[in-house]
Structure 1
Amino acid sequence: MADASQTDARLVESETTETDAVAGVAVGLSAVLFALAVAALFERVSLTGSLFGIRTVTLLGGL
């Protein structure tokens, strides 16, 4: 029984690590897009301009 508990703990630990990584990427991306939206709000970044070859308005969800 002790071996089963250790195996279960390792499985849960690896799943948690993957989940944490996905959540971290999502939070990081939302933080970058939020900063971009605030910069566009205060006209530090043009909505009709482009960043990294992609129009700013497209990055913020507009068409």
Structure 2
Amino acid sequence: GRRDDSVDIEDIITRDRRELGYGVGNVIEKSSYKIINETDVHYLEQEIMNITDVFLNKIAKGNRS
């Protein structure tokens, strides 16, 4: 975990706002791939596997963009 991990919702909101102030939101918006983590761990694992497959297929084909 992160040094600033917390289970307290107010701490989480404060950290998220701080990071958005650093421009993290802009970086996320410009990303080619996003994993939305708003459901259960099984869905998250499946999303990670799907994106991993995309990356591995691109590497296998020599397309790294």
TM-score calculated relative to the size of structure 2: 0.38
More strand by share: 1
More helix by share: 1
